[in-house]
Structure 1
Amino acid sequence: MPKTAAPDRAGTAGGGPPLRWRLVPWAVLGLWIAVVGLVAPFGAQLSDVQSDDQVEYLPEEAESTRVARIQQQLPGGDTTDLIIVYQRPGGLTGEDRRAAGQRVAAIAEAYDTSGEAPAEGIPSEDGTTELYQLSLAGLTGEDAEENAVRDVRDRVREGLPEGLTAQVGGPGAFGADASEVFGTIDTRLLIATVCVVAVLLILTYRSPLLWLLPLISVGIAAMTAMAAVYGLVRAFDLTVSTQNSSIMTVLIFGAGTDYALLLVARYREELRVRALPHEAMLAALRGAGPALLASSGTVAAGLLCLLAADLNASSGLGPVGAVGILCALAAMTTLLPALLVLLGRWIFWPRIPRLGSEGGQDSGIFARLGGSVSRRPVAVLTGGVLVMGALALGTLNLPGPLKDADFFTDPPESVQAAETVQDAFPGRSAQPVTVLSATDRTGQVLERIGATEGVEEARPGRGDKQWTEISVFADSPPESAEERETIRVLREELSEFGDQALVGGPSAQAVDLDATNAADRVVVIPLVLIAVWVILVALLRGLVAPTVLLAGVVASWGAALGLGGLFFGPVFGFDGMDGWIPLLTFVFGVALGVDYGIFLMTRMREEALAGASTREAALVALRRTGGVIASAGIVLAATFSVLMSLPLVVMVELGFVVAVGVLLDTFLVRTYLVTSAAWLLRDRMWWPGRLSRRGTDA
C-alpha cells in the first residue's frame, strides 16, 4: 500500500488534517485543564456553604416562616428543644424515676437552659413511661447542636437500672439526626452515581477505554458546576441545601451522559463516511448540536421556572440545576469532542468504525417496532393512550401529606422517641404549636388560646420587649388531621390581633408547606409548559410537532405519578408523600422526558428536509436513533434511581417517579405514541412550517 494512503493513528489518510485542526483539540483540552485547576479548590468548598436549616426549606412568605425567623432573634433563639423519654414496659419503679430525674438535672447543670429549671417528669397513665422536656440554649452552629444531642443521649443512658430504656427526641434531636443523614448524602450519592454510570457505559460501548471519556467529561462538568454554584452562594447569598446539590449531581451525570451517548453515536456514524476524525466530529456536532442545545435548553428553562415558586427549596433548586445542566452541555460539546478527536478511531476498539463500513442501523428491534407502528398506527396510538390513562388513575391512591415521623426510610432515635410518646400519651402532643404574641398583648392572646377548641394547654415561654413565645399543646397527635384543624381554628381565633399574634411551629410549617406547594404548582407548571413549548417551536419550526411531544411527556408524567400511587404505600410502605414531589417530578419529567422526543424529532425533520416523506422519515429516525435513545433513557433512569438508595423518603419518591417517567418516555411515548402520531398526521406534523406544504404524503 502506498505510504500516502496509509491511515495514521487518528485514522486519517494523506498526511492528516491541516495544522489548525490539529491544534484546536489541544487548545480545548488545555483550556479545560486550566479550568479544572482553577475551579477544583472552590468546588470542594460547596459543602461548607450548604445550609440545611429548616427555615431554608420553608415558604418565603408563610406565617410559620415568619415565626421561625423571629424565634431566631429572641433571647435563646438558638435553643435546642429536646424531649427525654424513659420507659419500662412492666411499669417504672421508684428507682427508675429517681435515676431519670438525676440524669435530667445533671444535663441541665451541664448546659445553659436560659435560667429555666428542668421540667418535672410527666408520667403516663399506665405508669410505664415518663416524659421530660428540656431546652438547651447557647448552641451555635449545626456541629454544636449535633454534639450536644449525642452527649445528652450518652448521659441519659449512662448507668441506667437494668430494663429501663431512654430515648431523646424533640425538634432539636430531629434536626441533629437529619443533619447527620445529610452529612453522608453527598459522598454516598456521588460514589453510587459514578459506579452506575460507569457500568452502564461499559455495557453500552463494550469497549475497555471508550467509556472513560464520557465519565471523565461528566466528572469535570460536575466539579465545574460545584465551583460555579459556590461562586453564586458567595456573590449573591444564594441558599443551597444538601438536597438541591444532590439533585444537581444526579442531573449532571444523567443528562451529561445522555448528551455524550447521542454525540458519540452520531460521531461513530460519521466516521463511517468521513476519513478524518475532525471532519466526522464537525459533522456530528452539526447534526446533533441543535438537539443537544434544545435538550439542555428545555431542562434549564424548566428549572429556572422554579424561581417563581414561593417555597425556598423549590426556588433555590432552579439556578443550581440550571448551572449544572449548562456545565454538562459545555463539557460534552467541547471537552468530550476534543478527547475523541485526539484519540482517533482506535478508542472505539474492538468495534472500530471503519471508513465505508455499514453500521447496521436499519435493522434490529427498532426496525421491527417501526414496522408494527406502520401496520397498525391507529391501534398503537389508541392502545398507548389508554395504557397511559389507566396508569394515571393510580394518582387516586397517592398517600397523604408526609409527616416528620415518616421523613426517613430508617427512623432515627428522634422519630422513635416521638412514636413512644404518641403511644404512651395518646391524648397529648409532645410537639407544641408555637404562638408568637406581641409582649404587651400576651395576656389577651393566652386567654383566647385557652378558649380555643382542641387546645389542651398553653404556657408562655421566652421573649423580649417586643415578642413573647407561647407553647400551645393540642389534645391530638402531632401533624394529625385533628391537630391541623386545631391550627386552622387557632389562626382564625387569633386573626383579630393581626400581625401581633402569629402561629408557627413544626405542625404549622407542614400546613403552610402543603398550601404553598399547591399554590406553586398553579404558577410553575404553566410556566414550564410555555417555556418548553416555545423552545420546541423554535427548534422544529412548527406548532403541531411541539404540541405532540409536550402532550406525550405530560401523559408519561401522569402515568409515572400514578405508578407512584400504586407503589409508595402498598409496596414501599410509605405513609405519606412529600408535597414537593408533584411539582418537582413535573419539571423533571417534562424537561428531561422531552429530550428523547427532541432527539427523535430532529432526526425525523433532518430526514424530511433531505427529501423523505414524513412517514419514511419517522421510521428512519426511529431505526437510527432507537438504540442510542434507549441507552440514554436507561442511563438517565438508572441515575435517578440512585436517589432511591438514600435514607430519605422524599428522595426515594423523587427518584422513583422521575426514573419511571423517563422509561415511559423512552420506550412508550417516543417509540409508539410519537411515531404513530407522525405516521397518521403525515406532513401535517410540521404545520405550519414549509415541510407541511410540500405534499409528499398526499
Structure 2
Amino acid sequence: MSPHRMAGLPAGRRGKYAVLVLWLVLLAAAGPLALKLGETQDNSTLGALPPGVESSRAAQRAEAAFPESRRQLAVAVYVRDSGLTAADRARVDADRTAFAGYADGGVVSPPVPSADGRALLFSLPVSADEQRRADAVSAMKDRLAEGAPGLRTALTGDAAAESDIWDAFDGMDGALLLATAVTVALLLLVTYRSPVLWLVPLLAVGVANQLAGATVYLLARHAGLAVDFQSQTILTVLVFGVGVDYALLLIARYREELRRHADRHAAMAVALRRSFGAVCASAATVALGLLCLVAADLPATRGLGPVGAVGIVAALLAMTTLLPAVLVLCGRWLFWPFVPRHTPGADERDHTADHGVWRRVAALVGRRPRPVWVGTAAVLVALTFGIGNLALGLPDDESFTIEVGSVTGQRLVAAHYPGGSAAPVEVLAAADAADRVVEAVRAVPGVAEVGGP
C-alpha cells in the first residue's frame, strides 16, 4: 500500500472508525494470548553455550554416563574469624542432618575444614525439579540465617545462585512496565505540556505491547521461537521506547499541519504521509539489525533477535494506524492548553523561525549529499576502533547490585579455601585413562587439588 493510501485510512472521516474497530478486534484477540507469554518461557538456555563447544560436549557425555552429575549443588559455609569452636562444629553437624532431607538421594558430603581452622563447608545435590529445588534452597537459607553470634554462614553454589537470580527478577515485569510507563508519561508531559495528550500515545503503545506479546506467544507455541525472561523483558522496553519515538515524530508533524489546515483530517493525512517514510526506514533498520542476532552462537542471544523484531513491527503498526486515528477522533483539544490554531496563509510562510537549525542541516545534506554521507561513514568507522577489546559479561560476584547470599558464600569460600573449592573443574575422560589423566591434571600450574576419579 502506498503512503498516500496508508495515510488516508486512519486520517479519513470514515477510515478512522474502521481502524479503531480493527484494533479493538485485535486487542480482544491479542490480550488473552499476551497474558500467556510467560508460560512459553524456557530459561534453561540462559547462560547455555553452543552445543558444539567443548564444555557442552563434555556436559552431554557426563549426563549420559552419570545422570546424577548434572544436579545442582548447594554449598553451606561457616566462618568464625577467631577460629571455629566445638559449638560451631556441633551446629554444622546438626545442619548436615537437617539438610539431608533436602538433598537429592539424602546424601550430604562430609564437612571440609579450611587450612586456617576458621571455616567449614559441606555440599549437597538438590532436586532437579525447579519448584522442589526452590523450596529446599529457601528452607536451607532460613536455617542458616539462625546463626550464633560471631559465626558467619551463607549458602552458595549453583542452586543458591539460581535462587538469588530468581529473587532479583521476581516482580520485575510489573516494576519495569510501571517504570517505563512513568518515564514515557513524563517525557510526553514535558514535551507537549498537555495534561491530556500524553495519554493517547501511551495507550497506543500499550496496545502495541499486547499485540507484540501475543505474536511472540504464537511464534513460541507453534513455530519453536525461543523465549526467556530476558527477551520478554527487553520486548517491553523496545515497544515502549520505539513506539514513543515514532509518536513524538508524528505528533510534532501533526501539530505543525494543524496550523496550516483548518480540517484536522487533512492535517493528519499530510503529517502521516510526510513522516511515514522516516518511521518505516527507522523500523526497518532496527528490525533488520535485531534479526542479525539470529546468527549468534549463544541460544539466548539468538532467540532475542526475532522477539525484538516483532516488537518493532508491532510498534510501527500501532503508531502509524491506531495513534493517528485516535488523535483525529479526539480533535485539537488534546493539545490544551497550547492548542494549535489554523492560521490562514501559513502554507506560504517561511518556517525557518520554527525550524532554523534543522532546516539548515537539511539544506546542507541536500546540497552536498556525498560529502555528508562519506564523512558520517568515516566517523562511524573510526568509532568502531577498539571494539575488539570490548569485554562482555560480569563475574558472578558482580552480577547483583547488592550482595546476596550466594555471593557472600563465594567470598567466604575464596577467603579460606583454594580457588574453585565451591565449584571445582570437572574433567571427563575414558575410564581406562583415569590414572594418566589425574597425573596430567596435577601437573598443570595453578591446580590446588585433584580428587579421585
* TM-score after normalising by structure 2: 0.85
Q: Any unmatched runs of 5+ in structure 2?
A: 1-7
8 Å contact kept, 2:352–2:359: no
In the other structure, the counterpart of 1:319 is: 306
2:68 aligned counterpart, secondary structure: coil
Task: Give the aligned partner of residue 306 of structure 1.
Answer: 293
2:17 paired residue among 15, 26, 40: 26
CA distance in 2, matches of 1:49, 1:355: 51
1:355 corresponds to 2:347:
no
Secondary structure at 2:448 match in 1: strand
Per-residue CA deviations over 1:80-131 (Å, capped at 9, x if unaligned) read: 20111101121110111111122112211x1343364x22222222222111
Which deviations, in whole Å up to 9, do the C-alpha atoms of 1:11-62 show, x marking residues without a partner?
xxxxxx99x9432111111111111111111111212322332556433432
Correspondence for 1:133:
123
Match of 1:147 among 131, 135, 138: 135
Correspondences of 1:116-127 after superposition (within 5 Å): 116=107, 118-127=108-117
Name the CA distance, whole Å, in 2 between partners of 1:186 and 1:361. Answer: 44
CA separation of 1:290 and 1:391: change in aligned 2, threshold 3 A:
closer
Partner of 1:4: none
SS of residue paired to 1:133: strand
Alignment of 1:533-572 (within 5 A): none
Spell out the pairing of 1:84-163 with structure 2 (5 A cutoff).
84-108=76-100, 110-114=101-105, 116=107, 118-136=108-126, 138-141=127-130, 143-158=131-146, 160-163=147-150
Query: What is residue 190 of structure 1 aligned with on the other side?
Result: 177
Q: Tell me, in whole angstroms, the C-alpha distance in 2 between the residues paired with 1:391 and 1:306.
A: 21
Q: Go from structure 1 to structure 2 and tell me whether the alpha carbon gap of 1:333 and 1:362 turns closer, same or farther (over 3 Å shift).
A: same
Cα distance change, pair 157–349 in 1 and its aligned pair in 2 (3 A): closer
Count of aligned pairs: 434
> Equivalents in 1 of 2:353, 2:59: separation in Å?
62
Displacement of 1:259 in angstroms is 0.6
Q: Distance in 2 between matches of 1:239 and 1:289?
A: 32
Residue 428 of structure 2 aligns to a residue whose secondary structure is strand
8 Å contact kept, 2:45–2:299: no
Deviation at 1:167, TM superposition (A): 0.3
Corresponding position of 2:4: none
CA, structure 1 residues 120+187, in 2 after alignment: closer, same or farther (shift >3 Å)? Answer: same
Matched residue, 2:27? 36
* Letter aligned with residue 139 of structure 1: A
Give the C-alpha shift of residue 78 in structure 1: 5.8
SS in 2 for 1:134: strand
Deviation at 1:393, TM superposition (A): 8.3
Report the Cα offset of residue 442 of structure 1.
4.7
Taking only aligned residues, the RMSD between alpha carbons, in angstroms, comes to 3.4
Among 38, 43, 53, the residue aligned to 1:47:
38
Q: 5+ unaligned residues in a row in structure 1: which ranges?
A: 1-16, 461-469, 471-698
Identity within the alignment, %: 42
Letter in 2 for 1:220: V
CA drift at 1:152: 1.1
Pairs within 5 Å for 1:385-534: 402-426=394-418, 429-438=421-430, 442=434, 445-459=437-451
Residue 282 (structure 2) pairs with residue 295 (structure 1): yes
Deviation at 1:77, TM superposition (A): 5.7
**Would you say 1:268 and 2:255 are equivalent positions?**
yes
CA displacement at 1:369 relative to structure 2: 9.8
What is the rounded CA distance, in whole Å, between the counterparts of 2:399 and 2:420 in structure 1? 21
SS in 1 for 2:402: coil
Asked if 1:214 corresponds to 2:201, the answer is: yes
Answer whether contact 2:418 2:448 (CA < 8 A) is retained: no
Equivalent residue letter for 2:52: E
Contact 1:304 1:322 (8 Å CA) reproduced: yes
- Aligned counterpart, 1:227: 214
Which SS does the other structure have where 1:301 is aligned? helix
TM-score (norm 1): 0.57
Check 1:301–1:30 CA distance in 2 against 1; reply closer, same or farther (3 A cut): same
Q: 1:238 to 1:65 in 2, by over 3 A?
A: farther
**Which SS does the other structure have where 1:432 is aligned?**
coil
Shift in Å, 1:71: 5.4
Q: CA 1:449–1:343 in structure 2 vs 1: closer, same or farther (change >3 Å)?
A: same
What amino acid is aligned across from residue 334 of structure 2 in structure 1?
I
The amino acid of 1:37's aligned partner reads A
Matched residues in 1 for 2:26 and 2:106: separation?
54
Residue 34 and residue 389 in structure 1: after superposition, are their counterparts in 2 closer, same or farther (change >3 A)? closer
Is the partner of 1:84 in helix, strand or coil? strand
Residues 539-587 of structure 1: per-residue CA shift (max 9 Å, x gap): xxxxxxxxxxxxxxxxxxxxxxxxxxxxxxxxxxxxxxxxxxxxxxxxx
Greater relative contact order structure (CA < 8 Å, 6+ sep): 2
CA contact (8 A) 1:55 1:68 kept: no
Q: Call closer, same or farther: CA 1:57–1:391 in 2, change over 3 Å.
A: same
The letter for the 2-side match of 1:90 is: S
Which residue does the alignment assign to 1:572? none
SS, match of residue 131 in structure 1: strand
